[in-house]
Structures are given as structure tokens and as C-alpha cells.
């Protein structure tokens, strides 16, 4: 066969295969939408789940997911930012930096179930935190850190050297340069990275099964006493999240309408993750415009 024919055939094959990927995604989204749209309504989103009967909602799980997300971000944001600042601004020994980056890489490559089991061993059992939001949030922090550190490092490194030099030339210390010059400069990309990480954390389940627990005690949203077991804000209560709920409902099969509940919950999960993605783009852009005055 002459090369020109081969070229044509190869191009067509690549078009077909790329098209297949697009079709797969469209089919996935369509399936989630069609299966879920019949189930999702206000009642489904706000009512409590049921263990053995049909007709349960996902209200508590939805709240748990969001609360857990906020809490774990509160822990991991300063942690990750500190590490990123150290690695980009202070660490001078390239060999040492290399070792630290390798450690973070290893952490990011650990299977989430292994991170979850570590959380179970340390937070749930050794620290006696039981199956609780706190254990879950700490475990999610471990799960989340490598990704956050990497995105923040990229953001900090993208600021040009001349900005650092300008700060230092004005007599600012390194730390002041970082806080007052570098971070404001790259804030849009830091925020984008954080929101994207939030989307990933929101859908995570394997790390939470044995840390935040697989049960969702009923909540009383008028109870603001943080120590009470029915208070939504109590960080010591077990908290099944939306993703864990989907998994549990499907693998235990105790409720008769498992397929419907998981279809609805899947739709909510995917929509929230999509919202996070859009938000990341939107906020990043807005913040950039605001900061640069364009």
C-alpha cells in the first residue's frame, strides 16, 4: 500500500477512535441524566434516607458531603500552602527538594483505600475519634494534600522571578514578598486549583468508608449545639457521604429502590462536580480580572 493511503486510513482511524471517546462521554452523561432526572426532586434532595424501605432521600448525605468537604479543606489549605511556599521559596538544596517531592509523589500514588485504612487505623482506632466527620476530614486531608501541593507549587512557580527580585529590592523579606507580592499575583490559579481539588474530594468514597463511617444518623437542623449527636455541626458524629451512600446502597442491597436512589444520587454528584469545574473557571477568571484591573 502506498504511504498516502496509509496516511489517510490512519487519520480516519484516529478520528473514529477519538469520536468513540466523545460518544462514550455523551452516553455516560445521558445515562446519568435520564436515570436520575425521574428521581431527583425537592423531597429527594432534602428528606432523610431509609434503610429498609423505598422512598428515602439523600438530604443528610448531601449535607455531610459538603460539611466534610469544607472541614477537610480548612485543614488542608494552610498545610498545602505552607509546603508549597517552602518548596518554591525556601528549599535550596536540590537533593533535599527532590526527596520531598518524591515523598509527595508516593503519597499521591497510594490507592485511596490504603489511605482510608491508614485513617481508620490511626484516627478511628488509635486516636479514639470513632467513625466521625473529624476522622473523615483528616483522612481526606491526606488524600488531598499531594494534589493541592502540586497545584499550589505550579501556581507559585508561574510568578516571574522579577517579581521576587522587585520585592526583595524594596527591602521586603522573603516572607513578606511571598505574602504581599507572590500570593496575590497567583491567587486566581491557587483558587482554581483548590476548587478543582474540592470536586475530586466531593466524589471520593473509598477513603471514607472506614473513617467517616457508613451510617447517617438523622439530623435536626435547628439544633446548633455542637456537642449534640443530632446537630449537623457536630464533628464527632458518623457521617455517610453521598458517594459512600451510592456504594453502600448498591453493595448491600437492603433497600428495594436501590437503583433509583443511586441514580438520583449519581446525578446530584455529577452535577455538583460539574458545578465545581465551572466555578473554578469562572472564579479564576473573575479574580484575575479583579486583581489585574482589566
Rounded to an integer, what distance in angstroms lies between the CA atom of residue 16 and that of residue 210?
Answer: 43
Determine which residue in the list 51, 225, 250, 289 makes contact with another protein, applying CB under 8 A: 250
Nearest residue to 183 via CA among 88, 91, 100, 279: 88
Residue 275 near residue 252 (C-beta atoms within 8 A): no
Q: Is the Cα torsion angle 210, 215, 219, 225 positive or negative in sign? A: negative
Minimum CB distance to another protein smaller for 231 or for 241: 241
Residue 130 near residue 210 (C-beta atoms within 8 A): no
Q: Is 86 exposed, middle or buried (0-12, 13-18, 19+ CB in 10 A)?
A: middle
Determine which residue in the list 186, 195, 269, 284 makes contact with another protein, applying CB under 8 A: 269
Minimum CB distance to another protein smaller for 133 or for 208: 208
Determine which residue in the list 168, 172, 279, 283 makes contact with another protein, applying CB under 8 A: 172
Kindly report the backbone phi and psi dihedral angles of residue 239, in degrees, each rounded to the nearest multiple of 5, phi listed first.
Answer: -145, 105
Q: Which stretch binds another protein (CB under 8 A): 45-53, 78-86, 162-170, 219-227?
A: 78-86
**Helix 242-252 to helix 258-292 angle, to the nearest 10 degrees?**
160
- The cell numbers describing 38, all together, are 425521574
For the window 201-220, what string marks contact with another protein as x by the rule CB under 8 A? Answer: -xxxxx--xx---x------
* By the rule CB under 8 A, 106 interacts with another protein: yes
Least gap, CB of 173 to another protein (angstroms)? 4
Rounded to an integer, what distance in angstroms lies between the CA atom of residue 103 and that of residue 64?
Answer: 31
Range 107-136, binding another protein (CB under 8 A): 107, 109-115, 117-118, 120-122, 125
**Residue with the three cell numbers 432523610:** 48
Least gap, CB of 234 to another protein (angstroms)? 23
Minimum CB distance to another protein smaller for 45 or for 110: 110
* By the rule CB under 8 A, 6 interacts with another protein: yes
Determine which residue in the list 246, 255, 260, 284 makes contact with another protein, applying CB under 8 A: 246
Determine which residue in the list 68, 152, 178, 181 makes contact with another protein, applying CB under 8 A: 178
Rounded to an integer, what distance in angstroms lies between the CA atom of residue 218 and that of residue 248?
Answer: 17
Minimum CB distance to another protein smaller for 24 or for 291: 24
Minimum CB distance to another protein smaller for 60 or for 198: 198
Kindly report the backbone phi and psi dihedral angles of residue 119, in degrees, each rounded to the nearest multiple of 5, phi listed first.
Answer: -60, -40
Range 18-77, binding another protein (CB under 8 A): 18, 20-22, 24-25, 28-29, 31-32, 35
Least gap, CB of 55 to another protein (angstroms)? 19
Minimum CB distance to another protein smaller for 93 or for 222: 93
* By the rule CB under 8 A, 271 interacts with another protein: no
Rounded to an integer, what distance in angstroms lies between the CA atom of residue 61 and that of residue 79?
Answer: 27
Amino acid at each position: 500500500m502506498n504511504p498516502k493511503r496509509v496516511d489517510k486510513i490512519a487519520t480516519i482511524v484516529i478520528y473514529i477512535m477519538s469520536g468513540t471517546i466523545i460518544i462514550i462521554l455523551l452516553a455516560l452523561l445521558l445515562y446519568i441524566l435520564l436515570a436520575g432526572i425521574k428521581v431527583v426532586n425537592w423531597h429527594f434532595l432534602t428528606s432523610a434516607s431509609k434503610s429498609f424501605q423505598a422512598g428515602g432521600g439523600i438530604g443528610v448525605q448531601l449535607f455531610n458531603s459538603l460539611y466534610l468537604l469544607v472541614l477537610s479543606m480548612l485543614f488542608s489549605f494552610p498545610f498545602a500552602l505552607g509546603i508549597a511556599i517552602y518548596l518554591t521559596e525556601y528549599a535550596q538544596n536540590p537533593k533535599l527538594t527532590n526527596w520531598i517531592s518524591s515523598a509527595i509523589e508516593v503519597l499521591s500514588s497510594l490507592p485511596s483505600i490504603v489511605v482510608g485504612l491508614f485513617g481508620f487505623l490511626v484516627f478511628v482506632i488509635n486516636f479514639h475519634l470513632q467513625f466521625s466527620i473529624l476522622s473523615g476530614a483528616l483522612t481526606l486531608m491526606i488524600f488531598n494534600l499531594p494534589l493541592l501541593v502540586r497545584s499550589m507549587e505550579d501556581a507559585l512557580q508561574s510568578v516571574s522571578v522579577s517579581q521576587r527580585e522587585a520585592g526583595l529590592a524594596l527591602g521586603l523579606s522573603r516572607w513578606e514578598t511571598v505574602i504581599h507580592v507572590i500570593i496575590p499575583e497567583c491567587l486566581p490559579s491557587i483558587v482554581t486549583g483548590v476548587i478543582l481539588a474540592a470536586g475530586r474530594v466531593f466524589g471520593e468514597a473509598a477513603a471514607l468508608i472506614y473513617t467517616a463511617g457508613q451510617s447517617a444518623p438523622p439530623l435536626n437542623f435547628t439544633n446548633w449545639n455542637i456537642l449534640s449527636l443530632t446537630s449537623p455541626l457536630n464533628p464527632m458524629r458518623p457521617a455517610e457521604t453521598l458517594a459512600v451512600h451510592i456504594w453502600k446502597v448498591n453493595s448491600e442491597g437492603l433497600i428495594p429502590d436501590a437503583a433509583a436512589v443511586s441514580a438520583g444520587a449519581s446525578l446530584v454528584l455529577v452535577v455538583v462536580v460539574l458545578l465545581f469545574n465551572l466555578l473554578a473557571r469562572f472564579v479564576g477568571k473573575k479574580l484575575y480580572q479583579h486583581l489585574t484591573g482589566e
